[in-house]
Amino acid sequence: MSSTAHTTADRTHWNAGWAAAMQRPSTGFDKNWAEEGFADQTVRQIVRVTGSGTSARIKLSNRYGTGPLEVSGATLARTDTGAAVLPGTGVGLTFGGASSVTVPAGGEVHSDAAEVRVAAFDALTVSLYFARPTGPATFHAQAFTTAYRAAGDQLGAADPAVFTETTVSWYHLAALELAGGEAREDTVVVFGDSLTDGFASTVDGNRRYSDALAERLAARGTPRPVLNLGIGGNLLLNDSAWFGERAGARFGHDVLDQPGVRSVIVLVGLNDIGFSEVDLPSYKPNPDNPVAGLLAGYRDLIGQAHAAGVRVTGATVLPFKGSEYHTPAAEAKRKEVNAWIRTSGEFDAVADLAAVFADPDDADALAARYDSGDHKHPNDAGYRAMAEAVDLDTL
């Protein structure tokens, strides 16, 4: 990696490398630093790209901030192990030629281009220093990748031991984009809830179904960027402080605004069905969503995608018998929704995940070999099976 950064004209064509859906600060799931934010602290975050290029830039988000976000410094380096970076690979990032940047409330900014040669599946470390109190942080709750925090300005720290705190969330880091070579218009986005986000996959293992899908495409000799824009707990029809804006409201920003997006796989609806069966302190209200409303929600996503010239694959809702919100009413809704996804012809293609994951002895239950233990989320083998259930030619 070059030891210098440089600015490039806006004419540069940026391709997809990595992205995450941003959320409001919340206490949900594992411990995180979103509500407290940062003050005179450095955060190191690791991402694995599925694109390639000869230069890179990051996108910082203050989408849910109530005031300006001051980022006092940022660096990019090749990842070694944990919080360590490979010696000599660090580069200081600039923003309009300056080493610091202020991101307005509700806004996003890109860094200038940094010279770096990146191949698909490279791991890169982004370090951000916040000298002044940030207030609550826009973040992605369930990264299933460790983030590291240290006191003071540790952007160039060679000793990973200074990073004494960890969480498994991403903070203010919304994307890493790549340039160089041909402009790409073949990005695949996977979109939905925790099944897309990768809940219960191995932390730091890159075992989400999006990872496996990118690996399948590369192994076939047709490598394409694959971006994961899932949010754990996300709903098709309702917003949530913990679980993000409803799918239809965030679809344009999170999917259609991605560089070179050509295809999207939609897997959402399980929580709309299940949350109406339980009383969750993390989600209010819990309305009884009728199937007709869910189908209207799917049609909205399909319409948005088609208006943008993007192909959309519908994935059937996985079995979840034995989970806390499985009831006869919920099961009846799942079956009706899945029948529509399979037979309506409204999606451009169908990934019938429900058929793949059904227990041979009880089609309403998740097959034991794919069950993470909660009877609704796959294990690592299950996420690999999800990727294998996608017909690559339909993308």
Strand partners, 234: none
State percent of the chain over pLDDT 90: 92
Judgement on whether residues 166 and 25 belong to the same structural domain of the protein: yes
Residues 6+ apart with CB under 8 A from 281: none
Determine the pLDDT at residue 118.
96
Answer whether residue 5 is part of any domain: no
Judgement on whether residues 159 and 211 belong to the same structural domain of the protein: no
Of 177, 211, 234, the residue at which a domain comes to its end is: 177
Answer whether residue 2 is part of any domain: no
Closest to 371 measured CA to CA, from 363, 380, 362: 380
Determine the pLDDT at residue 10.
54
Closest to 139 measured CA to CA, from 171, 182, 104, 93: 171
Residue 5 has pLDDT above 80, yes or no: no
Determine the pLDDT at residue 279.
87
Mean of the per-residue pLDDT values for the chain? 95
Closest to 188 measured CA to CA, from 310, 368, 352: 310
Residue 205 has pLDDT above 80, yes or no: yes
Strand partners, 109: 60
Put simply, whether the predicted model's pTM sits higher than 0.85 gets the answer yes
Question: Any idea what the CATH number is for the domain that residue 314 is in?
Answer: 3.40.50.1110
pLDDT band for position 185 (cuts 50, 70, 90): very high
Determine the pLDDT at residue 281.
81
The structural domain count of the chain equals 2
Residue 380 has pLDDT above 50, yes or no: yes
Residue 2 has pLDDT above 60, yes or no: no
Judgement on whether residues 234 and 367 belong to the same structural domain of the protein: yes
- Cα dist. 255→12, 94, 319 in Å? 21, 26, 26
- Mean per-residue pLDDT for 137-155? 98
State percent of the chain over pLDDT 70: 97
Residue 241 has pLDDT above 50, yes or no: yes
Residue 37 has pLDDT above 70, yes or no: yes
Judgement on whether residues 235 and 380 belong to the same structural domain of the protein: yes
Judgement on whether residues 287 and 379 belong to the same structural domain of the protein: yes
Of 177, 198, 221, the residue at which a domain comes to its end is: 177
Judgement on whether residues 146 and 265 belong to the same structural domain of the protein: no
What is the residue range of 199's domain?
A: 185-394
Closest to 61 measured CA to CA, from 115, 33, 23: 23
Determine the pLDDT at residue 285.
80
Judgement on whether residues 154 and 294 belong to the same structural domain of the protein: no
Residue 1 has pLDDT above 80, yes or no: no
Judgement on whether residues 192 and 326 belong to the same structural domain of the protein: yes
Query: Is the CB of residue 225 less than 8 Å from the CB of residue 15?
Result: yes
Q: How far apart are CA 341 and CA 154, in angstroms?
A: 50
- Mean per-residue pLDDT for 226-254? 97
- Mean per-residue pLDDT for 287-309? 96
Query: Is the CB of residue 193 less than 8 Å from the CB of residue 141?
Result: no
Q: How far apart are CA 89 and CA 87, in angstroms?
A: 6
- Mean per-residue pLDDT for 129-158? 98
Q: How far apart are CA 135 and CA 371, in angstroms?
A: 39
Judgement on whether residues 258 and 337 belong to the same structural domain of the protein: yes
Residue 132 has pLDDT above 80, yes or no: yes
Determine the pLDDT at residue 28.
76
Write the pLDDT tens digit of every residue in 262-294: 999 999 999 999 998 998 888 888 888 999 999
Write the pLDDT tens digit of every residue in 97-109: 999 999 999 999 9
Question: Which of 182-186, 202-206, 230-234, 368-372 is predicted least confidently?
Answer: 182-186
Judgement on whether residues 33 and 81 belong to the same structural domain of the protein: yes
pLDDT band for position 72 (cuts 50, 70, 90): very high
Of 119, 154, 177, the residue at which a domain comes to its end is: 177
